[in-house]
Amino acid sequence: MKIKKLMFFAVIITALLASCGNNNSANQQKEQNLDKNASYALGMSIGSEFLESMVSGQISPDTDEFIKGMSDVMKGKNTRLEFNEAMELLEKAFTSLMEKRNEGAQKEENAFLAENAKKPGINITQSGLQYEIIKQGTGPKPNADDMVKVHYEGALIDGTVFDSSYSYGSPLEFYLFQVIEGWSEGLQLMNVGSHYRFYIPSELGYGPNGRSPIPPYAALIFDVELLEIIEVNE
């Protein structure tokens, strides 16, 4: 989880900087000093790591206060907060921000699915799975315990493609019980030779936690071609 990664990273960096700030040997400090460009590069590296950890840049700190906190530790000054207090404060702040972000994501998902349901050709199952038929095949339908061969492309509702068998150059083979619920249900609706488009609610996908690169509460769009039901020799 990215928040835990950030918290861990913050603890490690703070500890390292504190140890540097407590080094009272002038000779050792002189030997360990980085030049200006290297020091700047270190700052870039730390800043980049933090931005990557902060939920893909969606959460940003007050830059001045961030730098002041680092500077106070590095220079051995009395900090405004005790270390344990600072960690508790961070945890609360990020929890609050994540709750707000997730609330926004849920609203976006619900709005998309509600609007999509109004479009011509959209079918909705009892579970909430939405699908449209691009091409109807005439072959058999798979069961829940079957292995299938498919071509597919997965995207977020903003159009970002996060996975595609077409890019691999070959279709994917798997058992239906190995994939997310939306896929398993949707594929059982398809005849071999069909091409469907699934609109999968997050509760039938990766839910409130997501799965990199899929964020929490993300509705997913999958174009799926069912090529074959694979006979498995037991």
- CATH number for the domain spanning 209: value is 3.10.50.40
Evaluate whether residue 102 is within a structural domain. Answer: no
Residue that finishes a domain, picked among 26, 47, 80: 80
pLDDT for res 1: 46
Q: In terms of domains, do 51 and 129 share one?
A: no
Domain hosting 36: range is: 2-80
What DSSP character marks residue 153? E
Instruction: Please list the active-site residues.
Output: 152, 162-163, 180, 206, 222
Q: In terms of domains, do 72 and 125 share one?
A: no
Evaluate whether residue 49 is within a structural domain. Answer: yes
Q: In terms of domains, do 225 and 128 share one?
A: yes
Q: How many domains are there within the chain?
A: 2
Could you list the pLDDT tens digit for every one of the 234 residues in the chain? 455 555 555 555 555 444 444 544 444 454 556 678 887 887 778 777 776 665 544 566 777 887 888 788 878 888 888 888 888 887 887 777 778 878 888 999 999 999 999 999 999 999 999 999 999 999 999 999 999 999 999 999 999 999 999 999 999 999 999 999 999 999 999 999 999 999 999 999 999 989 888 999 999 999 999 999 998 776
Evaluate whether residue 97 is within a structural domain. Answer: no
Q: In terms of domains, do 163 and 221 share one?
A: yes
The runs of H, that is alpha helices, within the chain are 2-21, 26-32, 36-53, 63-74, 83-116, 165-168, 181-187
Evaluate whether residue 144 is within a structural domain. Answer: yes
The values of phi and psi at residue 229, to 5°, are -100, 120
Evaluate whether residue 85 is within a structural domain. Answer: no
d(CA 42, CA 36): 10
pLDDT for res 7: 53
pLDDT for res 143: 96
Q: In terms of domains, do 76 and 125 share one?
A: no
Q: In terms of domains, do 72 and 126 share one?
A: no
d(CA 222, CA 200): 8
pLDDT for res 60: 67
Evaluate whether residue 150 is within a structural domain. Answer: yes
Q: In terms of domains, do 65 and 160 share one?
A: no
Structure-token pair, residue 108: 């976006």
Q: In terms of domains, do 158 and 62 share one?
A: no
Evaluate whether residue 105 is within a structural domain. Answer: no
Evaluate whether residue 114 is within a structural domain. Answer: no
Element (H, E) at 231: none
pTM > 0.75: yes or no: no
Q: In terms of domains, do 149 and 206 share one?
A: yes
Q: In terms of domains, do 216 and 165 share one?
A: yes
223 beta partners:
153, 197
pLDDT for res 43: 77
Residue that finishes a domain, picked among 49, 80, 111: 80
